[in-house]
Amino acid sequence: MIELNKSLKDLKLDSTWTLFLDRDGVINKRIVDDYVKQWEEFHFLPGVLEAIASFSAFFKRVFVVTNQQGIGKGLMNESDLKSIHAKMIEEIKAAGGNIDKVYYCPALRSENSPLRKPAPGMAYQAQADYNDISLEKSIMIGDSASDIAFGKNSGMITVLAELQSFEVGYSDSNPDFIIKDLLSFAFQLKQL
């Protein structure tokens, strides 16, 4: 892990913290210029199931936050997405992990929805649903500038996964940490 602005040990992480994860490119393989529209197109990235099991034992809560404008484009519907997420959660549970809830925004980028990352709406939804979480004691792991900006806009610590796919797109998209993948972050947590 590359530490940019702070040391992971300085965060004083404990079981009261919350973890937010992007989906495409972090949990599953991103389909370039397309969307995961059915379960057969969803492929977990290496080490993700093991990492999420580790996160579930460490963090108070684990959420997934994902922009899904394929719905807004009419390429899939919310029922398709919910089916994918149900199967994703089933596989994660079978591997010993847990996702408390999946939040998604189906809106098109052009709609400027307050729920679409980088806007903090999905974080606020999670906080409203689970009033025991603090966004200041939360970590956002994502692979895009909008993920990092979402974390910053929500007041979270931000972690960039998969540096090679990162493109700067927002002024507030400088991550606090950079990791290779979720498994490497899980390993770092075990060292605390």
Mention every residue, 6+ apart, whose C-beta is less than 8 A from residue 187.
none
Q: Taking the CB of residue 5, how many other CB atoms lie within 10 A of it?
A: 10
Active site residues: 22, 24
Please name which of 106, 169, 124 lies closest in space to residue 142, comparing C-alpha atoms. 169
Q: Which two tokens stand for residue 153?
A: 């806009």
Q: Which two tokens stand for residue 141?
A: 């792991």
CA distance 136 to 157: 8
Please name which of 79, 68, 77 lies closest in space to residue 31, comparing C-alpha atoms. 68
Angle at Cα 51 formed by Cα 93 and Cα 59, nearest 5°?
80
> Is 15 strand, coil or helix?
coil
Helix (H) or strand (E) holding 145: helix 145-153
Q: Which two tokens stand for residue 105?
A: 């925004």
